[in-house]
Amino acid sequence: MLFERIYEEGLSQASYFIGCQKKGTAVVVDARRDIQVYLDLAAKNGMDIVAVTETHIHADYLSGTRELAQATGAKIYISGEGGEDWQYGFEGERLIHDSTISIGNITLTAQHTPGHTPEHLSFLITDGAVSQEPGYMLTGDFVFVGDLGRPDLLDEAAGGVDTRFEGAKQLFASLKKSFLPLPDYVQVFPAHGSGSPCGKALGAVPTTTVGYERANAWWSEYLANDDEQGFIDELLDGQPDAHAYFARMKKENKEGPAVIGKLSLVEELSTDQAREKLADGSAIFVDTRDQDEVHQGTVEGALNVPAGPKAANFAAWVYDPEKQHEDLIVLAEDEQAADDFRKTLFRTGIDAVKYFVPTIEGLPAYTPELISPAELEQTSYDALVDVRGKSEYADGTIPGAQQLSGGSALWRQDELPENGTLVTFCQSGARNTVVSNGLRRAGFHVIELEGSYAAWAAQQ
């Protein structure tokens, strides 16, 4: 059996390529939307991708299931569990508890493991060339290393009302029914790692075992004592902020993400062409540099989405394709860099990168307004805004600051003074620069606290 874990660092997301070497066939589970990595793996190993499936309707990234099936002719398998409200809106063979997918000598057996979402499936994997018993489990957002998938995202991101309590009960039952009865040696491969907002304490180790989690996970004592209420109370306490774009991901993944197909190259614009598009409002400029460079000067009205692992997340914080329909002009050194940036943004459903320029020289200039921590007391403002997460805010903030998580700030503008001045900060400044430029584009007067909370705290 060929078993490959493909990890997307920015989204802390894992997908899996599983192939039968004897038959030369493979299945991909929880594919991301830029699919070249799976095509390359298939070509490298002389395999055909004949099946593609996913554990559940994802909220944190846009699924590549349809994209990969379109490119390879693979058969789509999707959950048929969860009831009428949780059925996918696109074609695929529906899987229920104990349904199987066979890829040569390899069998994936679906296990209905609701709790994170009602339709959630996990997959037991049996390598028939070695054993007739499963040795691996792809747990999706059910069991993580040291943690569990959060049951409150349907409330936070899908418009649910108090669904977290039923979800927590379902997680407890899923652990009892589908996880704990497995042998200790079964290896567990989750869909997310440390840094994902799909849980509150995910481990950085990529894999675990049933036996290790049974002995060491925070929830193990509650299960051993059959303490459902204690389990629910601890599970729901302290869950991180959910990004506002999760609601869009849920909807698009349920309906079926648009298939990208073969793309034309990102077009390079001259300075004059870029200036014209910015002036007529048909495009938005995206400065892809880091905060220090942006603070030296950027383009008037620009968004800041630093190129790198977090670009897909940051872009979805400040650009909503359901409401914003402008093309994006990105700062990139060449065509390849622009294309890499565009593909990263595909992962959160932003398909608007059409152009690039290699320099900001000659474009309308703007220098972001900054103040040092020493200047804060002498600065007049209407709101001091901490754009970090709830747990960071609870651990300590600047007196008088309100918390407005960066991932939802542009969706919660009604909580800010309409015509006032904002002073914003995060921990070290990277998130703050992303959010502050988004708020400026939305019409707010924003002053950034230079060095953010870390700099302020160092002076106390």
Domain endpoint, select from 255, 282, 300: 255
Here the tokens at position 204 are 């950085």
CA distances from 384 to 76, 182, 412, 437 (A): 49, 51, 15, 16
Q: What's the predicted TM-score (pTM) here?
A: 0.95
Here the tokens at position 261 are 């197909």
Q: How far is CA 289 from the centre of its chain?
A: 21
Q: What is the DSSP letter of 240?
A: P
Both 57 and 105 in one domain: the answer is: yes
Q: What is the DSSP letter of 192?
A: B
pLDDT of residue 414: 96
In Å, the largest CA–CA distance within the chain is 72
Q: What is the CATH number of the domain that holds 220?
A: 3.60.15.10
pLDDT of residue 158: 63
What is the rounded CA–CA span in Å between residue 406 and residue 306?
A: 15
pLDDT of residue 107: 98
The answer to whether residue 350 sits within a structural domain is yes
Total domains present in the chain: 3
Both 245 and 348 in one domain: the answer is: no
Both 385 and 359 in one domain: the answer is: no
pLDDT of residue 70: 98
Reduced 3-state DSSP string for 45-108: CCCEEEEEECCCCCCCCCECHHHHHHHHCCEEEEECCCCHHHCCCCCCEEECCCCEEEECCEEE
In sequence order, what are the residues at sequence separation of 6 or more whose Cβ sits closer than 8 angstroms to the Cβ of residue 133? 126, 183
CB atoms within 10 A of CB 13: 22
Both 236 and 351 in one domain: the answer is: no
Here the tokens at position 50 are 């004949």
Both 132 and 233 in one domain: the answer is: yes
Which residues span the domain enclosing 355? 267-366
Q: Which residues of the chain have pLDDT under 50?
A: none
Here the tokens at position 255 are 């309906």
The answer to whether residue 208 sits within a structural domain is yes
Both 150 and 283 in one domain: the answer is: no
Whose structure tokens read 């409150």? 152
Both 226 and 174 in one domain: the answer is: yes
Q: Is 247 helix (H, G, I), strand (E, B) or coil?
A: helix
The answer to whether residue 181 sits within a structural domain is yes
Q: What is the DSSP letter of 115?
A: S
The answer to whether residue 262 sits within a structural domain is no
Both 21 and 164 in one domain: the answer is: yes
The answer to whether residue 260 sits within a structural domain is no
Both 222 and 304 in one domain: the answer is: no
Domain endpoint, select from 366, 398, 416: 366
Q: What string of DSSP letters covers 378-413? A: G---SEEEE-S-HHHHHH---TTPEE--TTTGGG-G
Domain endpoint, select from 345, 366, 387: 366
pLDDT of residue 222: 98
Here the tokens at position 220 are 């193990």
Q: How far is CA 46 from the centre of its chain?
A: 31
What is the rounded CA–CA span in Å between residue 122 and residue 144?
A: 12
Q: Is 283 helix (H, G, I), strand (E, B) or coil?
A: strand
Here the tokens at position 196 are 């994902």
pLDDT of residue 157: 64
Q: Could you tell me how many residues make up the chain?
A: 460
The torsion angles phi and psi of 79, rounded to 5 degrees, stand at -65, 135
Both 382 and 347 in one domain: the answer is: no
The answer to whether residue 261 sits within a structural domain is no
Q: What is the CATH number of the domain that holds 394?
A: 3.40.250.10
pLDDT of residue 239: 87
